Copies of this chain bind each other. A is one copy, B any other.
Amino acid sequence: MSLDALILTSLRAAGDGAVSGAQLSQELGVTRAAIWARIEDLRSLGYDIEASPHRGYRLLNAPDVLHADDLISRLGATQVIGRDIRVFQETTSTNDVIEKLARDGVKEGAVVFAESQTKGRGRLGRGWMSPAKRGLWFSVLLRPDLRPQEATRLTVASATALRRAIELQTGLKPEIKWPNDILIGGSKVAGILTELSAELDRVKYLILGIGVNVNLNPGDFPAELRKLATSLKAELGQPVSRPELAVAILRELDHDYARIDPGQFAALADEWEEHGATIGREVVIRTGDRQIRGRAESLGEDGELLLRTVHGHLERITGGDVALEK
């Protein structure tokens, strides 16, 4: 961890109490002047840190910005995800950035956030609106030992984790629309874009691109999206702390990444189905120029959607656009 992350970890551990400069200096093995310089820097980023000559330093408030050191400090120990976190003020797409890191051999679990994206990507070559500091736009690099056709399991795991993190942080009850949308009251509040680089029988790396509409106002959405999309702030009536939500999502992702294992996937799929807006519903699936109508029965063993068509066949659906009927 960096010095900033270590200082923030100590201040948070002290809770309402304070930590003296002498104590920080000793714990972290740097001079008190170095501590003071870092505290000044954190303050300039918006961290409200009280410095009292008698008691020491106290963290009163953290700003709603994404600061890599702070995210690492808040996240604490994880199995895989989030040991390497990078934050960009602006990128084309965080998936592009992390793909470059992937090719450079960066370890799995690396996470790239951007305060804004100029070319945010949605599924099937579509765009994703990512206004500055209103949402969470980030990508996670994974190197699972999977065949490409098993990769749908990761969309199931990430949707489950994302849904649970939102519920934990906000108390809202999001639903999952297969394969990758998180809905509240039928409107999209978050989405996942899974991209992979593979040989025919081996995933080389996989990227989860996640977008969460956190504090967007209705006016932030273009007119054509206003009925289809929503934000956590709009649903809750008050803003949500983006760094807290970010950390909650990474923690749940780390937890569910371990559950894509064949032995544990059934329980994960059950949780998905319990909160799914798709299973048991009549749906229309558009994939390429094909359209399939039927009843969504369940998730298959690799996370594909099993659809009972009007002709009684069971179709394994691995992609496409799902429209829910009534």
A302-319 Cβ-contact flags toward B at 8 Å (1 or 0): 000000000000000011
CB neighbours of A288 from chain B (8 A): 145
Q: How many residues of A contact B (CB 8 A)?
A: 26
In the complex, what residue of chain B is closest to A302 when comparing beta carbons?
B149
The one of B149, B194, B197 that contacts A318, using a Cβ cutoff of 8 Å: B149
CA distance A145 to B197 in the complex (A): 17
B199 contacts A320, CB within 8 Å? Answer: no
A179 contacts B198, CB within 8 Å? Answer: no
The 23 sampled A-B contact pairs (Cβ below 8 Å) are A123-B199, A124-B201, A124-B202, A148-B148, A148-B196, A148-B198, A149-B149, A151-B200, A152-B200, A155-B200, A193-B199, A194-B199, A194-B200, A195-B197, A195-B199, A196-B199, A196-B200, A197-B197, A200-B318, A200-B319, A201-B287, A201-B318, A201-B319
A35-73 Cβ-contact flags toward B at 8 Å (1 or 0): 000000000000000000000000000000000000000
CA distance A179 to B318 in the complex (A): 23
CA distance A197 to B288 in the complex (A): 18
